[in-house]
Amino acid sequence: QVQLVESGGGLAQPGGSLRLSCAASGSIFRVNAMAWYRQAPGKQRELVAIIISGGATNYADSVKGRFTISRDNAKNTVYLQMNSLKPEDTAVYYCNGNIRTDVIMNNRDYWGQGTQVTVSS
């Protein structure tokens, strides 16, 4: 079993910064990709940023130039540095990992429980 635990959410003012962390633990054979999603009230969950095993990254247009995804492979941890925050960034942010847990098992997706980010003046 694999568990993902997010941390770092909270309240920020417009223009402020937060850094989210997501630590994966359990039986991990290989991490294929890790990503951050977010879901605002009444809206669909959307992809914010993704980083694949080779290190390539991709971002939603709405956060390009403001957010940065990174990882620490030794700690099985992914980060999301959020700068120049806007009220429209307010959402629950979820960590996602596509992970292989055993040599004989298929890849599968795991989700954290989410962390609330609120941007308000």
> Which regions of the chain are under pLDDT 70?
none
pLDDT number for residue 21 = 98
24 burial (CB, 10 Å; 0-12 / 13-18 / 19+) is buried
pLDDT at 24: 95
CB-based contacts of 44, cutoff 8 Å, min separation 6: none
Single out the residue of 49, 17, 38, 30 nearest to residue 119, CA to CA: 17
pLDDT at 94: 98
pLDDT at residue 95, rounded to an integer: 97
Model pLDDT, residue 106: 86
Sign of CA dihedral 41, 45, 48, 51: positive
The pLDDT score that the predictor gives to residue 45 is 97
- 17: Cα separation from own chain's centroid: 15
pLDDT at 69: 98
Q: What is the largest CA-CA distance in the chain?
A: 51
